[in-house]
Amino acid sequence: MRYFLAVAEELHFRRAAAVLHLSQPSLSQQIHRMEEEIGIKLFKRSSRKVQLTAAGEAFLPRVRAILEGVDAAVHDTRRVDQGFAGLLTVSFVSTALAGVLPAAMKELQEQAPGVDLKMEECEPKEQIASILRGNSDIGFMHGALDDDQLETAVVQRDQLVAALPAKVMGEGPADLRNYRNHTAIMPSPFTAFGFHNHVQRAYRLAGVTPNKIIHTNLIIGGINLVAAGLGIALVPSSFQFIQVRGVTYRPLLTPPPPVELIAVWRRDATSELLHRFLEILTGARKQSSSGIEKRL
């Protein structure tokens, strides 16, 4: 088709052969072979000039369109291979939306505007199943995994802080023993593991069993309930930058170990787009602490 297009545009076999870096006899043979294959004469040849036949005229725009489509397909495929295009499906728990994840997504779109992002909020057990099925490229959750099919990396660490109604008096670190009569606004427990466990650990370390608990699926929802005066909530320190009227944040007197947000993906993943995103996450993590710690 490219040989046909060159001859059709030059209407001269010698000039077309020069453009294609072929010998003229070789080009003539290729065109003759093409005409035999489709059973139609595409050119009228004489010692003076070369012309397109009526069939050749009809064939020309279709060949141009096909070759343009092939070139576009090659270009797009190369961009996918280089991690500059394609679809990245990200699953996450709500706590991942405060911190490095949004910044990494923004950086990815700046580096590769042709990338499409699909975001799915779901609990860790659903994330893992989706990643293993190949429906999700990467997930973000709390906890620790031991699965030979999965690779994980810590992308963010947060201390728990207390979100308290602004009218509650006191300064300095919050002692949960002083709030045992306040309703504890906690994240809903997931079927596998999740942020809920970290909040429970903080209460155990303080030696407190809440008298009343309100469960909520979203941390920001819990912060809004605190603003309404319904209780107190323990949230990752990255959430204290979300200013809600009527809420004040204070560190805990007896802090539990930091809450780790991990990225999870298939160990055998070959997507260059995923690898590009992981490199961006590494850079974002290094800016906020000492770097991603891989768990091999």
The CATH number for 59's domain is 1.10.10.10
CA-nearest of 238, 256, 139, 128 to 192 is 128
> Are 3 and 24 a contacting pair, CB within 8 Å?
no
Lowest-pLDDT choice from 19-23, 121-125, 221-225, 292-296: 292-296
Predicted pLDDT at 190: 62
Same domain, 6 and 67: yes
Give me the domain span that covers residue 47: 2-81
What mean pLDDT is predicted for residues 9-38?
Answer: 92
- How far apart, in Å, are the Cα atoms of 152 and each of 110, 124, 136? 25, 13, 14
Please name which of 248, 241, 228 lies closest in space to residue 163, comparing C-alpha atoms: 248
133 and 264 inside one domain? yes
Query: Which three-class secondary structure state does DSSP give residue 263?
Result: strand
What pLDDT, in 10s, does the model give residues 158-205?
Answer: 999 999 998 876 788 999 999 999 999 998 876 445 688 889 999 999
Considering the domain architecture, whether residues 135 and 270 belong to the same structural domain is answered as: yes
Same domain, 48 and 99: no
> How does pLDDT run across 103-153, given as a tens digit for each residue?
999 999 998 888 899 999 888 889 999 999 999 999 998 877 878 899 999
Kindly indicate the confidence band of residue 48, based on its pLDDT and cuts at 50, 70 and 90. confident
Q: Is residue 138 within 8 Å of 90, Cβ to Cβ? A: yes
What's residue 284's pLDDT? 61
Token pair for 264: 């999870």
Looking at the structure, do residues 270 and 146 belong to the same domain, yes or no? yes
Q: In the Cβ-directed half-sphere of 123, how many Cα atoms lie within 13 Å?
A: 12
Please say whether the dihedral angle defined by the alpha carbons of residues 63, 66, 68 and 71, taken in this order, is positive or negative. Answer: negative
Together in a domain, 121 and 172 = no
CATH number at residue 114: 3.40.190.10
Indicate the number of domains in the chain.
3
For the chain, strand residue ranges (E) read 43-45, 50-52, 85-92, 114-121, 138-142, 150-158, 160-165, 184-187, 213-216, 232-236, 247-251, 259-266, 293-295
Tell me: do 174 and 152 sit in the same domain: no
Question: Of 51, 81, 111, which residue is a domain's last?
Answer: 81
User: For the segment 232-263, what is each residue's pLDDT rounded down to a tens digit?
Assistant: 999 999 888 888 899 999 999 999 999 889 99
User: 151 and 170: one domain?
Assistant: no
**Average pLDDT for the chain:** 87
Are 283 and 263 found together in one domain?
Answer: yes
CA angle 200, 205, 206 (to 5 degrees): 100
